[in-house]
Amino acid sequence: MRLQVIDHPLVHHKLTALRRRETPSPVFRQLVEELMTLLAYEATRDIDVEPLEIETPVAKTTGTALSTPLPIVVPILRAGLGMLSGMERILPTAEVGFLGMKRDETTFEAVTYANRLPDDLSNRQCFVLDPMLATGHTLIASIDYLLERGAKDVTAICLLGAPEGIKALEDHVGDRANVTVVLAAVDEKLNEKGYIVPGLGDAGDRLYGVVD
Ligand code: URA
């Protein structure tokens, strides 16, 4: 597994605003979108492309186009949905599939409650969007799901990661698959409730309000 922490002053600046308790939902959503465009730019560095013959108004030349099959972007509902618009800005032609996962608040295990993805992902590059890599259970379940369906490689894009979750993911994935995790920051730890410290609180609630 490859881990990439994006060290950029604009990422630090936006993340600081995102973390603040008093940042209201509309601003929080806007910041997530902006952060995502910055992370997506780095996360797509190894995206598959092929040469394309084109004509400019002046001459013929060889350019570059995304290869087919096109990459697939998979936001993990609910909080990953907040990252989708930022990703679409960078990669508007990608297909989008959805995985709904929530964690059981006592065991912290990931429970799948929705799935709208092709069964066959052979040769597809997959980008999973999930803002918080906490225990790692949700990402482990999503990455396994995509690899079992033949994904060529998986890049998970997260805003924050806890060392515990990163280690769990690393131990699970090892070298058996082509998996990259792109993060804006690695925080200190998880608390006893499974929240990232200092973190930003519950990303889904901060994006969309509290739903029980
Ligand atoms: N999910 C969140 O939304 N926040 C955390 O801190 C951990 C998991």
> Taking residues 158-181, what's their average pLDDT?
94
Report the pLDDT averaged over residues 12-32. 97
Closest CA to ligand 1's atom 4? 202
Cα separation, 107 vs 127, whole angstroms: 27
**Cβ–Cβ under 8 Å, residues 199 and 187:** yes
Radius of gyration of the chain (CA): 18
User: Is 29 among the domain residues?
Assistant: yes
What residue type is assigned to position 144 of the chain?
Answer: D
Question: Is residue 105 predicted with pLDDT exceeding 80?
Answer: no
- The domain in which residue 39 lies consists of 2-48+66-197
Q: Given this model, what pLDDT does residue 109 score?
A: 76
How far is ligand 1, taken at its centre, from the CA of residue 64, in Å? 39
Catalytic positions, please? 103, 107, 202, 205
Tell how far the Cα of 103 is from the centroid of ligand 1, in angstroms.
10
The 3-state DSSP class for residue 11 equals: helix
Tell me whether residue 59 is in a domain.
Answer: no
Report whether pLDDT(96) > 70: yes
Q: Give percent helix, percent strand, percent coil of the chain, each to the nearest 5.
A: 35, 30, 35
Domain with residue 164: its CATH number is 3.40.50.2020
From the CA of 205, give the closest atom in ligand 1.
Answer: 3
The arithmetic mean of pLDDT across residues 80-99, rounded, is: 96
Q: How far is the CA of 75 from the centre of ligand 1 (A)?
A: 15
Residue 8 located in a structural domain: yes
Residue 71 placed within a domain: yes
Q: Give the list of residues 6+ apart from residue 24 with CB closer than 8 angstroms, or none.
A: none
Q: Residue 17 in 3-state DSSP?
A: helix
pLDDT band at 32 (very low <50, low <70, confident <90, very high): very high
Q: In total, how many domains does the chain have?
A: 1
